[in-house]
């Protein structure tokens, strides 16, 4: 912080709530589209789960 | 299993005894030759605790790492014996590496290769091993294979412990139920570390239902075999060497450091198994369903052009 002037600090402080609003108000469309779920072939599990009778 | 949630306020010992009774009847052994554990991994770890320490552990390499990790944590000597040219356990070398080991571990079919060891080799090892060396045969993947179980040998071999799990073909990995089969003194030695613990009621109900589902093993074995062999055939035709697997996993030699390929496949949203340091250019692939295997193959051929 030692390189910042008092005026600059005040400016940053004033902008913080706005930054928060921007972050929280970001439209869902701006988020990265979810990719396909990972294929898990790493633990020798059954892809079919328990018997239907279970 | 849903029904079992309501019973979670009690220790479900009657259900555990019922599971033992059903399994013992199906396998033709006495009920006091079967014990339930919260996953066969726990039975295996308890066996290592019980029978190694001053005496050594003999394991195949590559194989399931848990017994070696447990023995090393106790400061026991571990002898790793490479699989033979047929990717089976080299039983003569395993017998020769230490004349008085505490425990000899076999995994049939073997994890991670899926390869099998002939029954005659295991019987020879049982005949030649010192009577006070415990032989553990881990049959976690036996349902996927055509190899005979070692459970009938328990009656005539006081030092044989066979492990079974509901985590693989039965699809209950997260429910944590496994079985140990052996003569009562061996099982009592394991219980010194387990305190006659009991599995959860939903898990026990799931295990019972699995044993009583008469067509489950044959159906899933066939589905797994079909998908595994089709994938291995396509990889082989493209020039990639695979292990001769009879399990729900196989290994592929990617002819370069395998860790990098595991990472590259992960970037393609395909997670494959860890790399064994003794086989640094091989990846282990579990067999999923048809769509998952198609995604694996697509990613594999994208990464390994």
Question: Which CATH number do you get for residue B20?
Answer: 3.40.640.10
B281 and B146 share one domain: no
> Considering only CA atoms, which of B145, B148, B153 is closest in space to residue B111?
B145
Whether B40 contacts chain A with CB within 8 A: no
B178 and B99 share one domain: yes
B30 and B111 share one domain: yes
Which chain B positions have a beta carbon within 8 Å of A54's beta carbon? 1, 172, 205-207, 209-210, 213
Among residues B176, B192, B212, the one where a domain terminates is: B212
Write the pLDDT tens digit of every residue in B111-164: 999 999 999 999 999 999 999 999 999 999 999 999 999 999 999 999 999 999
Among residues B192, B212, B232, the one where a domain terminates is: B212
Write the pLDDT tens digit of every residue in B19-42: 999 999 999 999 999 999 999 999
How many percent of chain A have pLDDT more than 90? 26
Give pLDDT tens digits along chain A (54 positions): 444 455 555 554 555 444 444 444 445 555 666 778 999 999 999 999 999 888
Q: CA B302 from chain center: how many Å?
A: 31
Give the domain CATH number at B255. Answer: 3.90.1150.10
B187 and B79 share one domain: yes
pLDDT of res. A34: 74
Best interface-test mutation with B: which of A49, A51, A53 has the largest number of B CBs within 10 A?
A51
B132 and B250 share one domain: no
B143 and B255 share one domain: no
B94 and B242 share one domain: no
Low-confidence ranges of chain B (pLDDT < 70): none
Which chain A positions have a beta carbon within 8 Å of B299's beta carbon? 39
User: Residue B4: how many CB atoms within 10 A of its CB?
Assistant: 19
Enumerate residues 35 to 54 of chain A having a beta carbon within 8 A of any beta carbon in chain B: 35-54
Q: Do B269 and A38 touch (CB under 8 A)?
A: yes
- Domain extent for B232: 216-303
Residue of A nearest to B173 (CA): A45
Strand-pair category, B103-107 with B57-61:
parallel
Count of structural domains within chain B: 2
pLDDT of res. A36: 82
pLDDT of res. B99: 97
Euclidean distance between CA atoms B276 and B113, whole angstroms? 10
Euclidean distance between CA atoms B255 and B275, whole angstroms? 13
């Amino acid at each position: 912080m030692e390189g910042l002037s008092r005026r600059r600090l005040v400016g940053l402080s004033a902008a913080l709530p706005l930054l928060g609003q921007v972050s929280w108000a970001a439209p869902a469309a701006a988020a990265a589209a979810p990719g396909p779920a990972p294929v898990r072939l790493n633990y020798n599990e059954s892809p079919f789960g328990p018997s239907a009778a279970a | 299993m849903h029904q079992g949630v309501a019973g979670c306020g009690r220790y479900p010992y009657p259900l555990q005894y019922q599971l033992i009774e059903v399994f013992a009847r199906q396998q033709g052994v006495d009920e006091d030759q079967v014990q339930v554990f919260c996953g066969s991994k726990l039975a295996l770890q308890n066996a290592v605790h019980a029978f190694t320490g001053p005496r050594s552990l003999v394991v195949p390499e590559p194989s399931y790492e848990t017994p070696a990790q447990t023995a090393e944590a106790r400061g026991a000597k571990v002898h790793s014996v490479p699989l033979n040219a047929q990717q089976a356990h080299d039983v003569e070398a395993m017998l020769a590496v230490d004349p008085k080991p505490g425990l000899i571990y076999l995994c049939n079919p073997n994890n991670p290769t899926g390869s099998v060891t002939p029954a005659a080799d295991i019987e020879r090892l049982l005949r030649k091993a010192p009577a006070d060396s415990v032989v553990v045969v881990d049959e976690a993947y036996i349902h996927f294979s055509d190899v005979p179980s070692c459970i009938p040998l328990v009656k005539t071999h006081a030092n044989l412990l066979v492990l079974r799990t509901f985590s693989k073909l039965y699809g209950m990995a997260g429910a944590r139920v496994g079985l140990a089969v052996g003569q009562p003194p061996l099982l009592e030695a394991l219980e010194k570390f387990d305190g006659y613990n009991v599995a959860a009621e939903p898990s026990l109900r799931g295990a019972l239902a699995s044993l009583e589902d008469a067509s489950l093993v044959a159906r899933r074995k066939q589905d797994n075999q079909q998908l595994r062999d089709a994938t291995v055939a396509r990889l082989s035709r493209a020039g990639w060497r695979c292990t001769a697997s009879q399990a729900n996993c196989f290994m592929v030699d990617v002819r370069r450091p395998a860790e990098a390929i595991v990472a590259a496949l992960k970037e393609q949203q395909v997670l494959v198994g860890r790399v064994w340091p003794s086989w640094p250019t091989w990846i282990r692939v579990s067999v999923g369903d048809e769509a998952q295997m198609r995604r694996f193959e697509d990613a594999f051929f994208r990464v390994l052009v």
